[in-house]
Structure 1
Amino acid sequence: MIIMASHVQIDHASVTDNDVARQIEFTAEIDGEEVEFAVKYAVLKELSGDEPEDDAVEMFERFSDEILDVCEEVAAKRPAATVVIDESDLE
């Protein structure tokens, strides 16, 4: 299953909850290039108003359009081996 927002295509099967690092990790393709992303729980809390607990992946999926738009913007500004999205990246 592929979720698409703008030019970002996420491989849904790659979405994992790293509760130790308190982030959702996934691989996405941007303009034909694979990029690793990590979305901090603080982003999910900012978007939902609730602290992620056992439902972090569900929250990620619920707000995926907004998150993937931010991922595309941040990846363009800060190319890295893993692009980390935190609450300061939200507009």
Structure 2
Amino acid sequence: MADDALTVIQDTLEDNAAERQVEFVAEMDGEEYQFAVQYDLLEALSGDVPDGDAIEMFDRYSDDILEAALTALGRDMKQSLVVVSENDLD
């Protein structure tokens, strides 16, 4: 799976502050997957707690986030929502 790449569908990016996560759909090999990136992952990457700027943080650290998302997806490709957390960072 290391050679596979996720492509974020940009218009699906949404900051769900109530759930403390950024949600998005990404495509890989013609399949779409729903992801939720927890704020703790954004904080681990940036050193700051998201405060109205979670989408900006997501964009800034998207390479690291997508690598973590691949790790999370690899656990179970049939899950309806792939939750990406700080534990998925290398």
Structure-1-length-normalised TM-score? 0.90
Unaligned runs of 5+ in 2: none
Of Structure 1 and Structure 2, which has the larger fraction of its residues in strand? 1
Q: 1-side partners of 2:9 and 2:35: how far apart? A: 11
Structure 1 stretch displaced more, 46-55 or 68-77: 68-77
In the alignment of these two chains, the number of paired residues is: 86
Partner of 2:21: 23
Asked if the contact 1:15–1:25 (Cα under 8 Å) also holds between the matched residues in 2, the reply is yes
For residue 47 of structure 1, the aligned residue among 29, 45, 48 is 45
The answer to whether residue 5 in structure 2 is matched with residue 7 in structure 1 is yes
Structure 1 stretch displaced more, 71-80 or 47-56: 71-80
Unaligned runs of 5+ in 1: 1-5
Partner of 2:87: 88
- Residue 77 of structure 1: how far off its partner (Å): 1.8
The percentage of counterpart residues that share the same residue type is 43
What is the RMSD of the two structures over their aligned residues, measured on CA atoms?
1.0
Structure-2-length-normalised TM-score? 0.91
Q: 2-side partners of 1:74 and 1:30: how far apart? A: 14
Question: Which 4+ runs in 1 deviate beyond 6 A?
Answer: none
